[in-house]
Amino acid sequence: MNLQSKDTAGTDKLEPFIGEAKIRSRVKELAAQIDSDYAGKTPIFIGVLNGSFIFISDLVRAVKVGTEIDFLKLSSYGDSKISSGEVKLLKDLNCTIDGRDIIIVEDIVDSGLSIKYIRDLVLSHQPASLQFVTLLMKRGLSNLDFDIKYIGFEIGSEFVVGYGLDYAQKYRNLKEICILKN
Ligand code: IMP
Ligand code: MG
């Protein structure tokens, strides 16, 4: 694809990192794992907006188990590449999660602050079970006191965009994941 045509800021440099085919096959593998773990169940997939919107749409179409879908929205990084260290809830759930199997779908886990916040929120509603699936996980997250069961790719500390992930709301529509260098 022509990355240059998506480079509206002029100064941003995008370096291809994880290509479309690689993403597609990993999403299939994650879906197969979920299918075997949730056989006979209908989990609620909860996407964390905005970053997970493309991943969740591919993931729910790749699974064979029954699905229900809802979304949460948390405060974002704004236009920064660094977390503010504070999480706020911008859009709450609409579904009832009591007694249900919940799968939180994230684009990327960095500091872990967002998923810790989500975990507390969801657990306060007594779900039957709770697991996380994240497309990307930044390496070196040491202070997480629970497991992320489904991880697409472990990456380093680079800032990435594409396939839903943004920098200042840009580049979400890239079909591949790129490293942003500016
Ligand atoms: P955490 O709360 O620090 O784990 O941050 C998680 C959220 O920050 C993700 O859901 C993304 O929205 C955003 N984020 C973290 N790292 C990146 C990145 O490399 N590119 C784009 N967004 C990111
Ligand atoms: Mg996010």
CA–centroid distance, 124 to ligand 1, in Å, is: 24
> Is the residue at 122 inside a domain?
yes
Residue 21 included in any domain: no
3-state secondary structure 131-148: EEEEEEEECCCCCCCCCC
156: CATH: 3.40.50.2020
- The reported pLDDT for the residue numbered 6 is 55
Residue 149: phi and psi, rounded to 5, are: -70, -40
Q: Is residue 119 part of a domain?
A: yes
Question: Which of 108, 135, 174 is the best mutation target for the ligand 1 pocket, counting ligand atoms within 8 Å of the beta carbon and taking the most?
Answer: 108
| Confidence category of residue 82, pLDDT binned at 50, 70, 90 | confident
Looking at residue 81, its pLDDT comes to 72
CA dist 44 and 96 (Å) reads: 10
Q: What is the pLDDT of residues 125-179, one digit of tens each?
A: 999 999 999 999 998 876 788 999 999 999 999 999 999 999 999 999 999 999 9
- Provide the domain count of the chain: 1
pLDDT in tens, 39-48: 999 999 999 9
- Find all residues with CB under 8 Å of 24, minimum gap 6, and list them: 58
Question: What is the CB < 6 Å shell around ligand 1?
Answer: 48, 51, 76-77, 83, 106-114, 159-161, 165
**What contacts 34, CB < 8 A, 6 or more positions away?**
43, 59, 63, 65, 103, 133, 150
- Give the Å distance between the CA of 49 and the centre of ligand 2: 6
Q: How far is the CA of 166 from the centre of ligand 1 (A)?
A: 9
Average per-residue pLDDT for the chain: 92
* Confidence (pLDDT) at 182: 77
Flag whether 18 is in a domain.
no
Surface-to-core class of residue 67, CB atoms within 10 Å of its CB (0-12 exposed, 13-18 middle, 19+ buried): middle
> Alpha-carbon distance 33 to 123, whole Å?
23
Rounded Cα distance between 102 and 99, Å, is 9
Residues noted as catalytic: 110
Q: What is the band of 4 on the pLDDT scale with cuts at 50, 70, 90?
A: very low
> Quick one: which ligand is closest to 90's CA?
2
In a domain, 154, yes or no: yes
pLDDT at 58: 98
Residue 164 maps to a domain: yes
Q: Band of the pLDDT at 78, cuts 50, 70, 90?
A: low
Domain that holds residue 97: 43-75+85-181
Domain assignment of residue 23, yes or no: no
Ligand 1 pocket mutation, candidates 15, 48, 56, 77, criterion most atoms within 8 A of CB: 77
Task: Provide the pairing of β-strand 44-49 with 68-74.
Answer: parallel
* pLDDT for res 143: 77
Question: Regarding predicted confidence, which is higher, 6 or 16?
Answer: 16
**Does residue 32 form part of some domain?**
no
Residue 8's pLDDT is what? Answer: 53
